[in-house]
Amino acid sequence: MPELLTDPMHWHFRAEEARRLADKIDDPAAKAAKYEMADKYERLAARAREWVDRAGIPRFIKSPPSAL
């Protein structure tokens, strides 16, 4: 689990999924909240990317998480 927290792609994939779900929501407030969640996931991805770069950890391409 800790490696997920520092994996930029994990957060990027979560942001993509949040956007896909937001696109399907009809309620404007709920849609806005889901898009805001996606933006926060992207910020987490950026922070994880910065941490990986500072720590000198090699990046690996990972596939997106499977749909639950």
For the stretch 2-56, pLDDT in tens is 666 778 889 999 999 999 999 999 999 999 999 999 999 999 999 988 888 887 7
pTM: 0.75
The end-to-end CA distance of the chain, in Å, is: 17
What pLDDT score does 53 carry?
82
**Per-domain residue ranges for the chain?**
2-54
CB contact at 8 A, 12 and 42: yes
Any idea which residue has 């997920």 for tokens? 4
Cα dihedral across residues 2, 58, 49, 22: positive or negative: negative
- Encoded tokens for 58: 């090699």
